[in-house]
Structure 1
Amino acid sequence: MPPKKMIFILLGVLCLYAILAGFRTGNSDPPTKAQLGEKLFFEPLLSKDLSISCASCHQPSHGFADTAAFSLGIHHTPTKRNTPGITNLSGRPSYFWDGRAPTLEAQALQPIINPDEMGLPIEEAVQRLNANDSYRHLFEQVFNGPATATNITQALAAYEKTLETADSPYDRYIAGDENALTATAKRGRLLFIGKANCNNCHSGEDFTADRFKNIGLYNGTTLPDPGRYEATKDSTHKGFFKVPGLRNVAVTAPYMHNGMFKTLREVIVYYNNPNIVVPDGIGRDLSLNKPLNLSEQEIQDLEAFLVALTDDRFAQRP
């Protein structure tokens, strides 16, 4: 057989082998940092008793929030605050209700080591992952070395950064589709930026000014959580909490740091006149002292607009 023909046959066999190898592994490309982070996000190995994962509290079908006022950690221990949704967190200047984490990587570490949540010392998490053949191989592929405290949180943060959403009826309306919003939602949008003054705090692309506000849900007794004060120890910060973004807010009930409002309507009714719902709130922002005087129809319109901020991946379908 001519040498040139043998070379072609050999190359053909090598190509076929490569294709079959790709089919066997399911993916011939090495995993990305975000793909490793996604696997870790759903991994109960990162909890002390192997019972929960990050996704147990940050449920994908609910905008990566929880449906309970307080999530249950290991040993069914309730968390101290409501689990917020974690979509659209890229580039935020601080994390958690009290803003104690300055980066997404720092945020990713806290639920793992918190004794009331996943309860696993990070040193033990590193040992577990490096003792696991699959994870040892994955970390070698992604980070060219074993799992460490640093690259575990880097991978988790990389996955969380992929949870950006911008495909809602509102986004299509802004892009020029006049039919993307209902007439009710259009009226609600005008209320949001007008009479209701919602964009005073919920501004920008993700509907948050990334500030901390006291909206009157702290009274030192029945509502004892001092919020940002716990992170700063500044007495002027008592009752201050991070203003959350509103994208996908319709699927992240219940609401507020303590989950005290079960529906969007309850939230709007509160803002309509906080003095009625919590008359003894300490240090409430002065902008909330005057009732909005929204009518029943306006409350419905505003709720319709908030629902229109729901990305299609979370929208309820028949």
Structure 2
Amino acid sequence: MVLLSLVAFIFIVAFQPKTEGNEVLTKEQLGEKLFFDPILSKGMAISCASCHIPAFAFADTAAFSIGDKGTKLPRNSPSLTNLSGRTDFFWDGRAASLEEQILGPLSAHDEMDLPIQEAVERLSKNEFYSTAFQKTFKTEVNNKNVLSAIAAFERTLETTDTPYDRFLDGDEKAMTEAAIRGRILFIGKGNCATCHSGEDFTADRFKSIGLFNGKDFTDSGRYKITSDSSHLGVFKIPGLRNVAVTAPYMHNAMFKTLREVVEYYNTPDKFVKNSINRDLSLGSSLNLSDGEMNDIVAFLEALTDDRFKKNN
């Protein structure tokens, strides 16, 4: 754990933009500085990068991130890569844009606990940020441009430099034989592509995969937002790019490895008894062999951008 923290710290320091005092930052560069700066948490104890670590595809290696006051948060922090095309944010889909999403952790009492107006006031009193916002936005710090800057940075976190992408471009040796077999299984027998489709491997929909039974597993997911009983246990389908470096998995971090995830989908009843509202596509075992499950994992690993491979 100490080693992981050290790696993350080194990566964060290296990732931060180097700027001169008189340089005019782009909106994305300004958002990047804000993303890594603990000035945006009430006690200045954490930054956005504390829970979304660059070396791990902007996810967290901990099951549950720690907020500004040392409070353990209730859900696993997802990756922030490849979000520019998404239509819903958070596990329960309660935000409809990256800008709206940023407001969530910023103002949440157990997270950064710095409502946007307080953040604006703090940044306005900071000589660097006061000047930087004037230069970048031609106006003083305000609610809109703070959120706009951070969202602009997050929209740059698109990743396509993977073995899978090179394979699609015609490099037949870019993926291992196991990953090639895994891709066929992912699309076919494994039925994974039903939910994880498109360029970023998400259908931008919500599904219940059976991780709610009201007893052992009590997070009701999207139901908390909509109060619609059909949404009990329903969560946002995450994209799968860089998934191999974002463990642990699921909103409740119950799986430590991709192999465990695939095993769950293969035989969900072995993991969660009496699931409520589980999707019909998971009504029975997929009957995947050990070798087939390993091949699917190999394919998922081939979705890792090279920049994250090199840092892990």
Smaller-chain TM-score range?
Answer: over 0.9
How far does residue 30 in structure 1 lie from its aligned partner after superposition? 2.1
SS in 1 for 2:69: helix
Structure 1 residue ranges (4+ consecutive) displaced by more than 3 angstroms after TM superposition:
25-29
SS in 1 for 2:306: coil
Is 2:221 the counterpart of 1:213?
A: no
Once residues 213 and 284 of structure 2 are traced to their aligned partners in structure 1, the CA distance between those partners, rounded to angstroms, is 19
Is 2:90 the counterpart of 1:68?
A: no
Once residues 182 and 191 of structure 1 are traced to their aligned partners in structure 2, the CA distance between those partners, rounded to angstroms, is 14
Is 2:255 the counterpart of 1:271?
A: no
Match of 2:280 in 1: 286
1:161 corresponds to which letter in structure 2?
R
Match of 1:303 in 2: 297
Cα contact 2:55–2:311 (8 A) shared by 1: no
Is 2:26 the counterpart of 1:32?
A: yes
Is 2:44 the counterpart of 1:50?
A: yes
What count of residue pairs does the alignment treat as equivalent? 294
Once residues 167 and 235 of structure 2 are traced to their aligned partners in structure 1, the CA distance between those partners, rounded to angstroms, is 31
Once residues 310 and 139 of structure 2 are traced to their aligned partners in structure 1, the CA distance between those partners, rounded to angstroms, is 42
2:221 corresponds to which letter in structure 1?
G
Match of 1:239 in 2: 233
Match of 1:120 in 2: 114
Alignment match of 2:137 (pick from 127, 132, 143): 143
How far does residue 276 in structure 1 lie from its aligned partner after superposition? 1.0
Once residues 170 and 156 of structure 1 are traced to their aligned partners in structure 2, the CA distance between those partners, rounded to angstroms, is 29
Once residues 46 and 124 of structure 2 are traced to their aligned partners in structure 1, the CA distance between those partners, rounded to angstroms, is 19
How far does residue 27 in structure 1 lie from its aligned partner after superposition? 8.6
Larger gyration radius, structure 1 or structure 2: 1
How far does residue 56 in structure 1 lie from its aligned partner after superposition? 0.1
How far does residue 142 in structure 1 lie from its aligned partner after superposition? 1.1
TM-score, length-scaled by structure 1? 0.90
SS in 2 for 1:74: coil
How far does residue 28 in structure 1 lie from its aligned partner after superposition? 7.1
Cα contact 2:45–2:68 (8 A) shared by 1: yes
Q: Alpha-carbon deviations, 1:167-223, whole Å to 9, x = none?
A: 000000000000100001000000000100100000000000000000000011211
Cα contact 2:213–2:273 (8 A) shared by 1: no
Alignment match of 1:97 (pick from 76, 83, 91): 91
Once residues 98 and 112 of structure 2 are traced to their aligned partners in structure 1, the CA distance between those partners, rounded to angstroms, is 18
SS in 2 for 1:256: coil
Once residues 293 and 233 of structure 1 are traced to their aligned partners in structure 2, the CA distance between those partners, rounded to angstroms, is 35
Alignment of 1:129-278 (within 5 A): 129-278=123-272
Once residues 192 and 28 of structure 1 are traced to their aligned partners in structure 2, the CA distance between those partners, rounded to angstroms, is 51
Q: Alpha-carbon deviations, 1:238-275, whole Å to 9, x = none?
A: 10000000000000000001101010000000000101
Greater Cα offset, 99-108 or 29-38? 29-38
Cα contact 2:248–2:255 (8 A) shared by 1: yes
How far does residue 145 in structure 1 lie from its aligned partner after superposition? 1.3
Once residues 251 and 91 of structure 1 are traced to their aligned partners in structure 2, the CA distance between those partners, rounded to angstroms, is 21
How far does residue 29 in structure 1 lie from its aligned partner after superposition? 5.6
SS in 1 for 2:30: helix
Once residues 44 and 217 of structure 1 are traced to their aligned partners in structure 2, the CA distance between those partners, rounded to angstroms, is 34
Once residues 113 and 75 of structure 1 are traced to their aligned partners in structure 2, the CA distance between those partners, rounded to angstroms, is 13
Once residues 69 and 271 of structure 1 are traced to their aligned partners in structure 2, the CA distance between those partners, rounded to angstroms, is 20
Match of 1:21 in 2: none
Once residues 53 and 264 of structure 2 are traced to their aligned partners in structure 1, the CA distance between those partners, rounded to angstroms, is 26
1:232 corresponds to which letter in structure 2?
T
Alignment match of 1:86 (pick from 64, 80, 105): 80
Once residues 229 and 206 of structure 1 are traced to their aligned partners in structure 2, the CA distance between those partners, rounded to angstroms, is 25
Greater Cα offset, 246-255 or 137-146? 137-146
Mind listing any 5+ residue stretches in structure 2 that lack a counterpart? 1-18
